[in-house]
Homo-oligomer: A and B are copies of this chain.
Amino acid sequence: MKGMEEILENIKINSWVQNFKRSPRQINKSHESDAELIEVKDKNSRLLAVTIDSVAEEITEGLYQDPFTMGWVTVMSNLSDLAAVGAEPLGIVIAVSVEKERDEKFCREIARGMAAACQKLDVFILGGDINTTPTISLSGCAFGFVPRGEKITRIGCRTGDVVFMSGWAGSGNAMGLVRLAKLPEELFPENFYRPIARIKEGQLVRKHATCCMDTSDGLMITLDQLLRINKLGFVVESGWDKILTPEVLELCERAKIPHWFMAAGIHGEFELVFTIPAERVNLFLQAALEIGFQPIQLGIVQQKPSLEFVLPSGKKVEIDMTPLRNLWPTAGSDLKRIIQEHHAWGKKWGLE
């Protein structure tokens, strides 16, 4: 069984959480849900879902250079957490901390990105707080309602459930790699990265799925976190050509980047990963079709608590994400080392 505390990021979260008492109103424990689920004694039988998420490192590390992207992702990352619990959004509030030397145009572009993301999903910014700080930080807090009877969290999948993803993976890591490795911008321009939170899809998923989590940290890290929380494992049977965005496949081809890098990196794309009981799959897919939603079947949940990929040869390889996940907080700014380590593990596992 893979422990939660093998992962530095989880240890860090726990070191904060241990200082706080749990609310008797809170339905989920920490790590167990993308958004906090709160009992509000509502006669309409709804739970309040709340999440807070900041975009800061992505900017200060040079990943996002276009202020429109910064604003867009601030909104979408929060709405994606609501999507993962199937919530119907009530709105979002924002806290904007910008450097003194930024001009009005820069701020207007952040706001335009936020407004465009809101408009895309018919959500509204309700208020906020503005600060002047030495380095930029954009926070959002989104909230919405979930019917109490259709509560879904990261926990609850069972052996034999079918694993789906709401759409193609890889755009976040493609953009990140092009930017940080200083590859030619045209290989994957920043404006290719316009993730859209799966709000409508999440509301369908909550009716059928046994667990759900968004891929804000990338596909493989999401699967790794889900298997730790659920004390189960996943077998991914689908090939990269079905999993990755066509533009990402093209990038891999042109720049000779192993496909699996695009699923392994920490900069995700805000799709949903979820599990559907085998006997409900047809019913779910039919309902999905009716709303124009075409989820990608990734594989199945297995008893063995590990992440396994079926190679094109039919061979099954076991992938332990622990060393790669723990690279980011220790070697986060040393991209060369991160790439080297990924190549080393990829070769060991037969993924490249």
Interchain CA distance A109-B127 in the complex, whole Å: 30
A320 contacts partner chain B, Cβ-Cβ < 8 Å: no
Q: Please indicate the chain B residues that have their CB under 8 angstroms from the CB of A23 in the complex.
A: 91, 124, 126
Contact pattern, A 97-124, Cβ under 8 Å of B = 1, otherwise 0: 1000000100110011011001100001
Q: Please indicate the chain B residues that have their CB under 8 angstroms from the CB of A332 in the complex.
A: 132
Which of B12, B20, B139 is A114 in contact with, Cβ under 8 Å?
Answer: B20
A1 contacts partner chain B, Cβ-Cβ < 8 Å: no
Q: Give the number of times this chain occurs in the complex, counting copies.
A: 2
Decide if the interface of chain A is mainly helix, strand, loop or mixed.
Answer: mixed
Q: Please indicate the chain B residues that have their CB under 8 angstroms from the CB of A127 in the complex.
A: 30, 35-36, 50-52
Contacts A57-B132, A95-B52, A135-B133; is A126 near B26 (CB within 8 Å)? yes
Q: Please indicate the chain B residues that have their CB under 8 angstroms from the CB of A56 in the complex.
A: 97, 131, 133, 137
Interchain CA distance A38-B93 in the complex, whole Å: 12
A309 contacts partner chain B, Cβ-Cβ < 8 Å: no
How far apart are A36's CB and chain B's nearest CB, in angstroms?
A: 4
Query: Among residues 30 to 65 in chain A, which have CB atoms less than 8 Å away from a CB atom of chain B?
Result: 30, 35-36, 38, 40-44, 48, 50-54, 56-57, 60
Q: Which 4 A/B pairs are nearest by Cβ-Cβ distance? A: A23-B124, A141-B141, A19-B111, A43-B43
